[in-house]
Amino acid sequence: SVNPDLASERQTASFSVEKLTALLDGGAEQTRMRRAVVEAIESDPVFSRENQYFQTQNERYEAAVRKAVHLQKKMHEMGWTENGPEYKYIYRALSGDVAFLLHRIFMRSISVLGSDKQIAKWIPLATQHKLIGSYAQTELGHGTYLQGLETTAVFDTATQEFILNTPKISAMKWWPGDMGRSATHTVVFAQLYIHGKCYGIHPFIVQIRSLQDHSLCPGITAGDIGPKMNFEHTDNGYLLLKNVRVPRENMLSKFCEVRPDGTYVRQGSQKINYFTMTSVRISLISDEVLTPLMKACTIAIRYSVVRRQSKLKPGEQEAKILDYQTQQEKLLPQLAAAYAFHFSNDYLQELFNRGYREIQKKNFDMLPELHALSSGFKAVITQHCTAGVEICLRACGGHGYSLLSGLPSLYTKILASCIYEGENTILLLQTARFLIKCFMAASAGQPVPPSVTYLAAVKHGKCPAKNKLDFLSPDIYTEAYQHVAVRLTSSTAAKLQDFIQSGVKKHDAWNQCTVQLVQAAKAHCHYIAVKNFAETVEKLETKAGIQKIMKHLCDLFALHGIFSNTGAFLHDGYTSAAQMDMVTASYLDLLAVIRKDAVPLVDAFDFTDQSLNSALGSYDGQVYQRLYEWAQKSPTNQMSPAYERYLKPLLHNTLSKL
């Protein structure tokens, strides 16, 4: 039975939840297919996530391997294929808690970087899991700066082999997933040396464990890097190489080849490589970043209408905590952000698909813009969503702090997304570099990519809003965001030039502007996100109440951004103090409006109880019952040796005294 405090929230929905779910999925047919996949996975006990919060790192790893192996069988059984339409729903249904994800990266790197012959040899083996692959790039001492990698691969003409070494401790491969305990093979990135000359970083297929008994191959030292903040299910590993020899054929050679005599030959364009990074950054947004925020919102908002605490009006029953303005102000902007970034992700996907079509026609013109947008959005969305999950966690008070709420695990996992696939600050500076370049070009009257044409038109006007309702006009707030993005880019470009003209070296000048460059890059992405949300709302059907509630969320997303960052909008007087008070008033009004639909808005995300795995967030809202039931299963409720060892001796003389 559904908790009546939750049930009542659903009766007053201003829109059709089912239609909104279909909109998020990209159509009712997609919703149907997703649900079928979820149903097939969740009804299979091998994929159960029960007791997950009680498991050790070793148990989590073992379960992830079990699931990965079983998944092959399941896919065969269900007729799902890696290229089929159901595939993208499988990972989401498993909540990512499965092994051999790096095996897929191993395969992709061979497909992208390998010759036809190499692809023909390795891909079938990998597809049939005749080996387990990994991807060994990051080193103990080297992450973001690939050119700094220290692992070496020296070509030995005599034996036609490469000799691989990790010459220093900082050269040790560190972090590769699936490598600590599972992988038999890996792609090692190393500095290629031929006849004493360094040719830079190249990829080599290296076998690291015996296929017979899984023992480490000669010259290999490898293991697991130990406990992390999350990802207990993944055996992130370390790898030391000591004179490990691989045949010449094991260097992935689509773009570069070493001939038998040691001649180095470069072939084709490597530009496509950048495209791979772009693709990875965009593809992680949905499953790794948006889904956790949506889950966190679902948990925190459902809990906030079931939890009653203190009195809002004297003499009445204790109030639902979502009725407090401060609680609304914590949670509802996160909900709006989840929707905003869902649509940003659609925008990036579309841009990416267009870019891909162009690249297939050998037109690489879109690459810089795609790279800049995917880098900036990866950073902004991961940052924003990580903060959002943390806010949801804290907003649930003590119960949010229990692992059984599901929120700690969501937080500790999403946090990693700020670091992997490009550390966020580094990424924002790449976006900033693009912005500065485009701003200079635009100022010189040269053409620039579509997403930055706005930089050309620096306007010095004032915000025309006259009352608080004007701030519910997308034109008004989108223009304000645009103004800020232009101002931050142009002022930083000017500062950079001032430095250089006053004799500061270019690299020093850049470093001394980086704090502000990061601000400019964020403002750019925030502007695009607001603009895209507003345009998406514009195009929605006016039926079923969906456009109306999405408009409210878009307004909230935009006004929350202004309210949280007033200085940027006030700075040059574009927005006046009186206007800022209007923003605040409209913003606070919106909270009360959206609060009414808060539960239906998270219901539309359509998470099953199994996938939320939260004692606070289930569909029926039976929070306290579930917390109690789950806690009783905890291994901490078994007898502890601490009693016999320490407590009994301490207490054994007491009895006579009481």
Q: Does 235 bind its own copies (CB under 8 A)?
A: yes
User: Which of 32, 462, 505, 543 lies at the binding interface for its own copies (CB under 8 A)?
Assistant: 505
Count other C-beta atoms under 10 Å from residue 641's C-beta. Answer: 7
Q: Does 657 bind its own copies (CB under 8 A)?
A: yes
Give the nearer residue to its own copies in terms of CB position, either 34 or 468: 468
Q: How far is the CB of 487 from its own copies (least distance, A)?
A: 10
Q: How far is the CB of 39 from its own copies (least distance, A)?
A: 25
Give the nearer residue to its own copies in terms of CB position, either 238 or 343: 238
In the sheet with 173-174, reading across from the earlier edge strand, the strands are 173-174, 237-241, 220-224
Our answer to whether residue 421 is catalytic in this structure is yes
Give the nearer residue to its own copies in terms of CB position, either 170 or 279: 170
Q: Which one of the spans 393-401, 463-471, 473-481, 599-607 is the region binding its own copies (CB under 8 A)?
A: 393-401
* 21, 349, 402, 608, 612 from 34: Cα distances, Å: 11, 19, 30, 12, 16
Q: Is residue 177 marked as binding?
A: yes
Restricted to residues 567-606, the positions that interact with its own copies (CB under 8 A) are 567-573, 577, 580, 584, 588
Q: How far is the CB of 650 from its own copies (least distance, A)?
A: 5
Q: Which one of the spans 86-94, 221-229, 248-256, 347-355 is the region binding its own copies (CB under 8 A)?
A: 221-229
Cα distance between residue 655 and residue 658, in whole Å: 6
Q: Which of 318, 421, 535, 644 is catalytic?
A: 421
Q: Does 518 bind its own copies (CB under 8 A)?
A: yes
Give the nearer residue to its own copies in terms of CB position, either 175 or 189: 175
Q: For residue 614, give the nearest of 296, 290, 231, 287 by alpha carbon.
A: 296
Restricted to residues 441-480, the positions that interact with its own copies (CB under 8 A) are none
Q: How many residues bind its own copies (CB under 8 A)?
A: 131
**Contact residues for 171 (Cβ-Cβ < 8 A; gap 6+):** 139, 140, 141, 142, 149, 150, 151, 165
Q: For residue 549, give the nearest of 283, 351, 376, 339 by alpha carbon.
A: 339
Q: Residues 438, 448: contact at Cβ < 8 Å? A: yes
Q: How far is the CB of 638 from its own copies (least distance, A)?
A: 8
Q: x/- site string to its own copies, residues 270 to 309, per CB under 8 A?
A: -------------------------------------xxx
Give the nearer residue to its own copies in terms of CB position, either 461 or 641: 641
Restricted to residues 114-153, the positions that interact with its own copies (CB under 8 A) are 125, 129-132, 138, 140-145, 148
Q: Does 502 bind its own copies (CB under 8 A)?
A: no
Backbone angles phi and psi of 220, in degrees to 5 = -100, 130
**Tokens 């990580």 map to which residue?**
386
Q: What amino acid is encoded at 450 in this protein?
A: P
User: Which of 33, 225, 272, 544 lies at the binding interface for its own copies (CB under 8 A)?
Assistant: 225
* 92, 244, 338, 574 from 479: Cα distances, Å: 37, 59, 22, 10
Q: Which one of the spans 198-206, 207-215, 253-261, 526-534 is the region binding its own copies (CB under 8 A)?
A: 207-215
**Tokens 């500065």 map to which residue?**
436
Q: What is the DSSP string of 67-123?
A: HHHHHHHHHHHHT--TTSTTHHHHHHHTTT--S-HHHHHHHHHHHHHS-HHHHHHHH
Restricted to residues 315-344, the positions that interact with its own copies (CB under 8 A) are 318, 323-327, 329-330
3-state SS, 452-515, equals: HHHHHCCCCCCCCCCCHHHHHCHHHHHHHHHHHHHHHHHHHHHHHHHHHHCCCCHHHHHHHCHH
Q: Does 423 bind its own copies (CB under 8 A)?
A: yes
Q: x/- site string to its own copies, residues 153 to 192, per CB under 8 A?
A: ----------------xx-x-xx----xxx-x--------
Specify burial of residue 384 (Cβ count, 10 A radius: 0-12, 13-18, 19+). Answer: buried
Residues belonging to the active site: 421
Annotated binding site: 138, 177
